Amino acid sequence: MESSLGVYVHIPFCARVCPYCDFAVEAVEAPGRRGAASGDWRETEDRYIEGLLAELALRAATFSGRSLSSIYFGGGTPSLLRPESLARIREAVMAAFPPGPARPEITLEVNPSTLERERLPGFRAEAGINRLSVGVQSFDDSLLKALGRAHGADESRRTLEAARRAGFDDLSVDLLFAALHQTPEMLEADLDEAVAFGPEHISSYELVFEARTPFGRALADGRFSPYPEEGSASMVERIEERLVNAGYRRYELTNYARPGHEAVHNRRYWQRLPVLGLGVGAHSTDPSGPGRAYGARHGNPRARGAWLAGVEAGVWPIGEEEPLSREDAMAEACFLALRCAEGLDEAGFAEEFGVAPREPFGPAIDRFLGEGLLEESGPGRLILSRRGRMLADTVCAEFV
């Protein structure tokens, strides 16, 4: 029986909040950004770490007996924290969930800056981080500026080089596409530079205008226009072509990896494996148990004050909890599997739910097969076709 666990740790602090960001984040005056570390920041950091440890103690029982396969420090900008702070969390998580024989993947999201570069050796040696996800977004300064990012392209280059020097051999680079004034030529230059650097993993995300962000409001007011659909679709195609030719495999719709470097933690979400999410706004995938045969989703409060008040008072659950129905679980099993290169294993689905996927979803599957958006990949396995990958949102929405 599957008994592994991934732990997501959300750090909601950033040096500046980007105008398109819809994550649970807040701007802080962190060290190295606007002068030296202030007493306030140190106190904020320490109190937040204590809160994470308290939440871990409160929630560990739900996941007891599981062996740790990954920790993901995301945000926000978790690299604003001191290595010793990250080490405290890692040690507590590993004590609660001792890893199995395989070394757990421990990822840290890093934003390019001088502060982070100086801390890289400490992140590796002291905090035990073995994978970095670097928020490059683009190597074009005009685009970074328009996106409101706090870093320039040279900061990214220096951070990637410093990461290699510090001994990190598992690097992921985030790139944005279909963003503002980005042209196909600008995307091409970003891909060229990323490939030339040779990270083990590349994630490519389309810029999304979420309604509650400044960019979302600008779109609603007509101050921005959405990126032309055709332009973004051809960028998706070009990214796949360029990265696959460079030796990466598109193992999930937005993720490319060299063989053996697929993200262990992120795969858990697509495989619907348990994840304990700690911190402000963190989401969890709780395992099945009494009264929730298909597990549950849990979302922590997005406001730091509400989350801290709960964990410091030792009160649980806080936030929203949603047990999954059989119908929800079947829908998720289909659309999450279709996001991945392996696709949907019909026999595995039937084993879990007692019915073949064609029973609840026959009309949708037949239609997409007929339209060439889905295809059979070996017996009993459905995958998105090339055109299906370009229209993935439309296909996946049909299963929800």
277 within 8 A of 8, measured Cβ to Cβ: yes
Instruction: Name the residue nearer to ligand SF4 (CB basis): 281 or 343.
Output: 281
Instruction: Name the residue nearer to ligand SF4 (CB basis): 16 or 387.
Output: 16
Positions that interact with ligand SF4 (CB under 6 A)? 14, 17-18, 21, 23, 25, 75-77, 111, 135
Q: How far is the CB of 365 from ligand SF4 (least distance, A)?
A: 36
Task: Supply the DSSP symbol for 324.
Answer: P
On the 0-12 / 13-18 / 19+ scale of CB atoms within 10 A, 222 is exposed
Q: Which of 92, 95, 166 is nearest to 124 (CA)?
A: 166
Q: How far is the CB of 197 from ligand SF4 (least distance, A)?
A: 20
Instruction: Name the residue nearer to ligand SF4 (CB basis): 33 or 267.
Output: 33
Half-sphere exposure of 272 (CA within 13 A, CB side): 22
C-alpha dihedral sign at 309, 311, 313, 317: positive
CA gap 208, 391 in Å, rounded:
16
Residue corresponding to tokens 């958006």: 373
Q: How far is the CB of 109 from ligand SF4 (least distance, A)?
A: 8
Q: How far is the CB of 138 from ligand SF4 (least distance, A)?
A: 13
Q: How far is the CB of 27 from ligand SF4 (least distance, A)?
A: 8
Instruction: Name the residue nearer to ligand SF4 (CB basis): 135 or 274.
Output: 135
Instruction: Name the residue nearer to ligand SF4 (CB basis): 21 or 218.
Output: 21
Q: Which of 371, 372, 381 is nearest to 341 (CA)?
A: 381
CA gap 84, 325 in Å, rounded:
41
Instruction: Name the residue nearer to ligand SF4 (CB basis): 277 or 357.
Output: 277
Q: How far is the CB of 221 from ligand SF4 (least distance, A)?
A: 21
Task: Supply the DSSP symbol for 112.
Answer: -
Q: Which of 43, 36, 48, 41 is nearest to 11 (CA)?
A: 48
Instruction: Name the residue nearer to ligand SF4 (CB basis): 14 or 311.
Output: 14
Measured CA angle at 128 (ends 127, 133), to 5 deg:
90
Q: How far is the CB of 156 from ligand SF4 (least distance, A)?
A: 13
Residue nearest to ligand SF4 (CB): 21
